[in-house]
Amino acid sequence: MYREKIDRYIDAHQNEMLEDIAALCRIESTKDSYRAGKPYGLRCAEVLGEALHLGESYGFSINNYDNYVGTIDLNDKEKQLDILAHLDVVPAGDGWTVTKPFEPLIKGGKIYGRGTADDKGPAVAALYAMRAVRELDIPLKKNVRLILGTDEECGSSDIEHYYSVEKEAPMTFSPDASFPVINIEKGHFHGQFSASFEKSEALPRMLSFESGVKANVVPAKAWALFEGLEGDAVEALIGQAEKDLGIHFTVSAEEGRLKIEAEGENGHASTPWKGKNALTGLLALTERLPLADSPQFEKVKALNRLIPHGDWLGKNLGIAQKDELSGELTLAFSILRITEEELSGEFDSRCPICANEENTLKPAKAAMEKDGFVFSTESMSAPHHVSEDSEFVRTLLEAYEVYTGRKGGCVAIGGGTYVHDLKNGVAFGASMPETENHMHGPDEFAVISELLTSAKIFAQVIVKLCG
């Protein structure tokens, strides 16, 4: 119903939609220091103001929640559907070749620029879906609200602020991922541990070890400093270690001491097998070195037993598990600091629906403490699941299938989205499953045809759920 009218409307407004996306993407809306009335800095407040101006100029009612979040309402009827998008972006970074990060460019059927895919392009596609329904006078019985946040990339405190004063709609989707429907987001278990030990002067010995920047990133680099090690002996071990571990090692002399650097590949903690963990690689190599016995070295061996290189399922920690809907538990050993007298570390585990504190947190804690570590994590976040048999999810999948000709289905992910804490929230769009749009990287882009299709799909969903 109304498909032909909606299709014609969206296609006729393609250029205008791209101009609106470009206007938002020219604003470098990365989180900045607090200013009075601007919790995330000047640019985040600026982009929110620009987006709300667009909404108001198209005849919608708007509201600004203290520059945390803005809303655009389709009508003043009973609350039914929220569309949750965000206008903040990650820093531009280096390596852009097609255009400068905040100078949007249309080329080869794509629009390039930071935020085009994540998440300004999809936000505008949702706005144009609302425009199509409104300007085509399609009758609705209930309201659709577009919620525009400004802190998704740095913790989502914006949404916490919004939901402290507003109730969740009966249904919510976020166009901040890919099609078809992401209805399961795994739980999160952030393990933190430490240990202290007596300093040993026995040679050869490790003086320090360092790897990792963020708990949710598989570290690509690690280094350790040693005293009393001969370079020739180390070089002989490295060749075989590189073959066994898939990590590249470099040895250098530093003020009479030996430094070993490890290089792997970054990855996200939700998919640790896609990276090459330099931390666990260097830890494995360290155990192979002819170091003198010491309490510190015993802790290195213990870590290699508990979270060995290549074990991203938590098998050795005793928490490996899976279920049919959400798949396997995954684990990334992501941060480690070792000195002569103490160490501290962190791992990031994404947990299936079947995981809980009894079968995950407590066994991990017991295993770590058995080897003399202090395990300080006391809780874990629950997984998020919306039934694929719900009317809401079935409606989304039906619209996706109609417009793409593809079979729809639900997807479980290890990462978290804006809707993780919403009772009836899923991620839905706005790119096709196979599209690699360089989100968070250089030359980020959105495929224009996918944005247009998304707007049409969103419009159909609005009609079906609110009409």
In tens, the pLDDT along 139-171 reads 999 999 999 999 999 889 999 999 999 999 999
pLDDT band for position 440 (cuts 50, 70, 90): confident
Q: Taking residues 405-414, what's their average pLDDT?
A: 93
Q: Which two tokens stand for residue 151?
A: 């802190």
Percent of the chain with pLDDT strictly greater than 70 = 100
Closest CA to 322 of 312, 336, 332: 312
pLDDT, tens digit, for every residue of 5-63? Answer: 999 999 999 999 999 999 999 999 999 999 999 999 999 999 999 999 999 999 999 99
Q: How far apart are CA 303 and CA 334, in angstroms?
A: 13
Percent of the chain with pLDDT strictly greater than 90 = 92
pLDDT band for position 289 (cuts 50, 70, 90): very high
Q: Taking residues 441-456, what's their average pLDDT?
A: 97
**210 burial type by CB count under 10 A (0-12 exposed, 13-18 middle, 19+ buried):** middle
Q: Which of 20, 28, 46, 88 is catalytic?
A: 88
pLDDT higher than 80, residue 254: no
pLDDT at 256 (0 to 100): 80
pLDDT higher than 80, residue 64: yes
Inter-CA distances, 242 with 237, 263, 277, 287, Å? 9, 10, 12, 14
Inter-CA distances, 449 with 41, 177, 397, 431, 452, Å? 33, 16, 19, 10, 5
CB 124 within 8 A of CB 134: no
Q: Taking residues 422-431, what's their average pLDDT?
A: 96
Q: What is the mean pLDDT of the chain?
A: 96
Inter-CA distances, 443 with 124, 151, 217, 446, Å? 20, 22, 21, 10
Q: Taking residues 244-258, what's their average pLDDT?
A: 92
Q: Strands 257-263, 171-174: parallel, antiparallel or unpaired by DSSP?
A: unpaired
pLDDT, tens digit, for every residue of 84-139? Answer: 999 999 999 899 999 999 999 999 999 999 999 999 999 999 999 999 999 999 99
**Lowest mean pLDDT across 51-65, 232-246, 296-310, 345-359:** 232-246
The position carrying tokens 């920690």 is 317
pLDDT band for position 415 (cuts 50, 70, 90): confident
pLDDT at 255 (0 to 100): 80
pLDDT at 230 (0 to 100): 85
pLDDT at 335 (0 to 100): 97
Q: Supply angle C-alpha 151, 152, 153, rounded to 5.
A: 95
pTM of the model as a whole: 0.84
Q: Classify each residue of 266-294 as buried b or exposed e, where b means 16 or more C-beta atoms within 10 Å of its C-beta.
A: ebbbbbbeebbbbbbbbbbbbeebebeeb
Q: Which of 7, 152, 176, 346 is catalytic?
A: 152
Q: How far apart are CA 137 and CA 153, in angstroms?
A: 36
The position carrying tokens 């050993």 is 333
pLDDT at 231 (0 to 100): 80
pLDDT at 162 (0 to 100): 98
pLDDT higher than 80, residue 1: no
Query: Is 118 a catalytic site residue?
Result: no
pLDDT at 236 (0 to 100): 83
pLDDT higher than 80, residue 444: yes
Number of Cβ within 10 Å of residue 264's Cβ equals 24
pLDDT, tens digit, for every residue of 255-273? Answer: 889 999 999 998 888 899 9
Query: Is 4 a catalytic site residue?
Result: no
pLDDT at 235 (0 to 100): 86
Higher pLDDT, 459 or 414: 459
Q: How far apart are CA 320 and CA 317, in angstroms?
A: 8
HEC readout, the chain: CCHHHHHHHHHHCHHHHHHHHHHHHCCCCCCCCCECCECCCHHHHHHHHHHHHHHHHCCCEEEEECCCEEEEECCCCEEEEEEEEECCCCCCCCCCCCCCCCCCEEECCEEECCCCCCCHHHHHHHHHHHHHHHHCCCCCCEEEEEEEECCHHHCCHHHHHHHCCCCCCCEEEECCEECCEEEEECEEEEEEEEEECCCCCCCCEEEEEEECCCCCEECCEEEEEEECCCHHHHHHHHHHHHHHHCCEEEEEEECCEEEEEEECECEECCCHHHCECHHHHHHHHHHHCCCCCCHHHHHHHHHHHHCCCCCCCCCCCCCCCEECCCEECEEEEEEEEECCCEEEEEEEEEECCCCCHHHHHHHHHHHHHHCCCEECCCCCECCEECCCCCHHHHHHHHHHHHHHCCCCCEEEECCCCCCCCCCCEEECCEECCCCCCCCCCCCCEEEHHHHHHHHHHHHHHHHHHHC
